Copies of this chain bind each other. A is one copy, B any other.
Amino acid sequence: MMKSIVSSKYLACLVGSIILNLLFIINIYVGGQWKLSWSSRAAIEAETVAAIYCSGHGRAYLDGLVVVGNKPVCDCNTCFTGPGCSQFIPHCTANADGGDPLFLEPFWMQHLASSALVVAGWHQMSYTYSGKSFFSEELAKVVRKVHASVGNAVTQNRFIIFGAGSTQVLSAAVFALSPENTSSPAKVVTSVPYYPVDKQQTQYFSSQKFKYEGDAYRWKNRSDCSITNMIEIVTSPNNPDGQLKKAIFHGPNVKTIYDHAYYWPHFTPIPAPSDEDVMVFTLSKLTGHAGTRLGGAVIKDETVFNRMMIHMQMNSMGVSKDAQLRAFKLLNVVLEEGTGIFDFAYQTLKSRWERLVQTVSLSNRFSLQENNPQYCTFYNKVRQLSPAYAWLKCEREEDKDCYAVLEAANIIGRQGNLFGVEDGYVRLSLVRTQDDFDILIERLHKLITEEDGDKTM
């Protein structure tokens, strides 16, 4: 009897153990798949680095700085330091300068599994896709789907080209729209306030083909415009002020490039799908992946498209296939998530804008850009701007150098004169990390509330 009990116990344990083994086997053959083979080492490595704790004020990267040993250290947000980014730097400067779109980082941290990417060592080694083009057809398909789902651009029967960020794509468009054989270079113009890179880049590459000719308004009423070639770059929504801009020039000798980097529901109501000749977009301001350097253009005319292709070949022999693969992965997540990323981005920026408006409204010393509500076809309602940048104006006579006023209050913005206007303006970035924004508001609040008897509310 005793033995019988012992052996039943053995049996029970054995059955239990066998069931456990079966569970393990099922676990390893996940969904009919073999256990991971060649990707395991890289996956463990990536997950280990990603798990490094940076106190919510930083993150560790696979290719992050290594100070000692093999492990990358945390890459901390501005104003945070220490090995785990846990120390706040009390009197640090609020960085509201560049347009680093880190406000979208939390979205990707919330979509870890779907947005991860595994690349084999032998992946896409060739210059081209299937010996044909520098550009991924599958990426172009996804891009068309994203535009269709948002309704911000017409892409049917249009050509699509990619480049290293909208920066390289804009330059390709300027080269492609310049006349091939001409005695006088095309005049490239932008209307104030304009995106500084357009001016700087056009001046840098200026040649017999084209020349930067400043503010578009300056040329508006001059009769010689009708006989010369003109290229107008229209940034819409505009950087710095978020306004939906329209071209100033029209006519047979005028070519227009629409920079639609910010034409997403994140930043602006979408009144209608844009259907311009050359429309430039960028991953940077859609998904937040500025570092991937992946921009694109939607083009009506085949000749322009072909000339832009030549530019991409001459300039960099195409565009990184790793960047194209990353964009392909991320845009597929954008599609899978429906309105997810747009809701996240819009809510984040709307709440930031409201906090900024509230802070600035405590005084008459500063004002912000106008915020005209418009009907948004994406959200089917009238909505306001939730702009990427605040276009801040110093209203007092003595605050002529608005940048200096903010600098003295420990805030770094971008000087108005870079955008072609007086220094009474400063651009403040609202797309950076939450830490950057919080510190900006804190510094701004302090500046405004510490005015000596100037509170005019």
Contacts of A65 in B (CB 8 A): 129-130, 137-138
Number of copies: 2
User: Which chain B residue shows the least CB distance to A282?
Assistant: B317
Interface residues on A, range: 35 or more
Cβ contact within 8 Å between A330 and B122: no
**A68 at interface, CB cutoff 8 A:** no
Cβ contact within 8 Å between A59 and B108: no
Cβ contact within 8 Å between A108 and B121: yes
Given A33-B48, A137-B65, A167-B315: A118 and B121 interface contact (C-beta under 8 Å): no
Given A63-B324, A119-B326, A314-B205: A47 and B36 interface contact (C-beta under 8 Å): yes
Cβ contact within 8 Å between A63 and B171: no
Contacts of A291 in B (CB 8 A): 124-128, 318, 320-322
Contacts of A43 in B (CB 8 A): 36, 39-40, 43, 118
Cβ contact within 8 Å between B325 and A127: no
- Distance in Å: Cβ of A177 to nearest Cβ of chain B: 15
Provide the bound-state CA to CA distance between A122 and B64, in Å.
Answer: 13
Provide the bound-state CA to CA distance between A113 and B294, in Å.
Answer: 28
Cβ contact within 8 Å between A123 and B13: no
**A375 at interface, CB cutoff 8 A:** no
Provide the bound-state CA to CA distance between A121 and B107, in Å.
Answer: 9
Provide the bound-state CA to CA distance between A65 and B131, in Å.
Answer: 12
User: Which chain B residue shows the least CB distance to A17?
Assistant: B17
User: Which chain B residue shows the least CB distance to A13?
Assistant: B14
**A358 at interface, CB cutoff 8 A:** no
Given A24-B28, A137-B65: A46 and B39 interface contact (C-beta under 8 Å): yes
CB-contacts of A127-142 with B (<8 A): 127-131, 136-139
**A208 at interface, CB cutoff 8 A:** yes
Contacts of A4 in B (CB 8 A): 3
**A366 at interface, CB cutoff 8 A:** no
- Distance in Å: Cβ of A445 to nearest Cβ of chain B: 24
Q: Of B41, B63, B126, which one neighbours A113 at CB under 8 angstroms?
A: B41
Cβ contact within 8 Å between B314 and A200: yes
Q: Of B100, B131, B292, which one neighbours A322 at CB under 8 angstroms?
A: B292
